[in-house]
Amino acid sequence: MTAFLAGAFALLFAATLFAPGVRAAPRPLRSDDGSLLGVVDSVHTSILTVVGYPPSEASPRPGAKRRRLIGTAIALSDRSILTSASIAIPGGSVRVLLKGGIERPAVLLGIDRASNIALFQVEGATLRPLAPAPPQSLAIGAWVAVISNVAVTRPQAALGQIVGRGERMDYARSGEILEIDAPSYPGSTGGAVLNEEGDWVAVVVGRAVPSPSDETSRVGLNRGDDPVPDPSSVLIALPVDQVAWMTKELETYGSVRRGYLGVQLRRATGAASDSLGVLIAGVVPGSPADSAGIRAGDRVLAIEGEEAHTADALTTKVRAIRPGDQIELTVLRGTEIFPLHVIVGAAFVQPPVGPRPTVSPDVGRMKQEIQRLEQEKQRLEEQIRGLEGAPQR
């Protein structure tokens, strides 16, 4: 423990130790006093400073400083970065700060405010991406390092431990949410979480405050980065496997699609709220629920074996499921109880934003495919005419 703390405290005052050039592979956190410094030194060029500016004021005061938000971003490729959704101020602009005082504009590709992540494309710079570790489940008590950067050349490192795994209370998700007991520096949100081997395993999405009514790992989300956080709070982070599919959604659609069944649920009140299951008041024609055979008047008793009591709880569970996954609903119809399997559809809870970099290439490929099919159609028609006009034997 002393070795860990020595490395962590030394890092905060050792910006001069970071030198440009090729970095060695990350070293384990647990080998020696300087191991944490070695790990950060090998990844710090992939952990960047970003600045979000609000829309320019129509008539700013002379000499007034422009308001801004400073945060941390992780380079995912040579052109793209992942950061906190709070940096993406509506109508504002974002710039990435690089060494030597260089600034580069960043264009928003997609955002998911429910999970507090945003994907940007950086113009005029070649970034060094941070390679994610293979999907893994970190054990409670495992040591991790949280690396953030709000000062360009002075990354901050906080040593912490995994204290919980579970789901957030404010928005359920498919997969784990990691709860990390570690100091929360300003700009921690958007930072990288490294395991004891120095591998990138998660991204910080906020600070969690345990629910007073629930002592399990379900937590609420505070997306702020106050200089002096609540001492009882912990950081929450999305594991890299979730980051991978969510950033793919952001890149392709500009938002993250949520699970969709296509049913109208009746929200019971009073004594009716104690009735069995959740009542299906209507089914959208052609929806996943319609295709699976769900009917108006059915009652959903359970989803994936977990009892369903309220419409809000059922909606939250469905939205947390990845589109395309198959789920089992336990349904009551009349006096009969039986399972129904549904392929979950996709819907946008938030409208897509940002330019779609894949649209133009996709349209071009589609047009080329149409031309090819037209040519193939003409060739086949000519063959048919030839066969029809051939003399009969």
Residue 32 has pLDDT above 80, yes or no: no
> 3-class DSSP state for residue 121?
strand
Contacts of 252 by beta carbon, 8 Å cutoff, 6+ apart: 356, 358
Mean pLDDT of 129-136: 85
pTM of the model: 0.67
Structure tokens at 229: 């956080």
Bigger pLDDT: 172 vs 347: 347
Residue with tokens 């009716």: 272
* 16 Ramachandran zone, left/alpha/beta (phi>0; psi -120 to 50): alpha
Residue 376 has pLDDT above 90, yes or no: no
Residue 24 has pLDDT above 50, yes or no: no
Q: How many CA atoms lie within 13 A of 26 on its CB side?
A: 22
For the stretch 277-314, what's the b/e string if a residue is b when 16 or more beta carbons lie within 10 angstroms of its beta carbon? bbbbeebeeebbbbebebeeebbbbbbeeeebbebeeb
Residue 5: pLDDT band (50, 70, 90) is very low
